[in-house]
Structure 1
Amino acid sequence: MLRWAAIFFVIALIAALFGFGGIASGAAEIAKILFYIFVIVFVVTLLLGAFRR
């Protein structure tokens, strides 16, 4: 999931570089959402691993 967030971030940077503001903002929003989902899943997995032991 972090890989997909990085891919959309790169797409957003390239689109912004070429002046496509709408595509850049859309790709940046998708990257942001995927990153937050990754962080939430990581924290939940970390806590479940800590409490399991």
Structure 2
Amino acid sequence: MAALETVSAEDLRHDLAEVDDADLVQRLMATITYKEINQLTQAETAKLYGFSST
């Protein structure tokens, strides 16, 4: 996912601190996890958080 590559985990954490929506918080957490744990694939990260990999 090319767009994801241009955003840092630090930027995502900043966004996380400013949101109130529980679904968005969970998606941001999943994205931060994916970016910080290099061994995880996008599909594995999605499964951890109960999302589909698409």
Q: TM-score range by the shorter chain?
A: 0.3 to 0.5
**Looking at CA atoms only, which structure, 1 or 2, has the larger radius of gyration?**
1
- Structure of greater relative contact order (alpha carbons < 8 Å, 6+ residues apart): 1
TM-score normalised by structure 1 residue count: 0.44
TM-score normalised by structure 2 residue count: 0.43
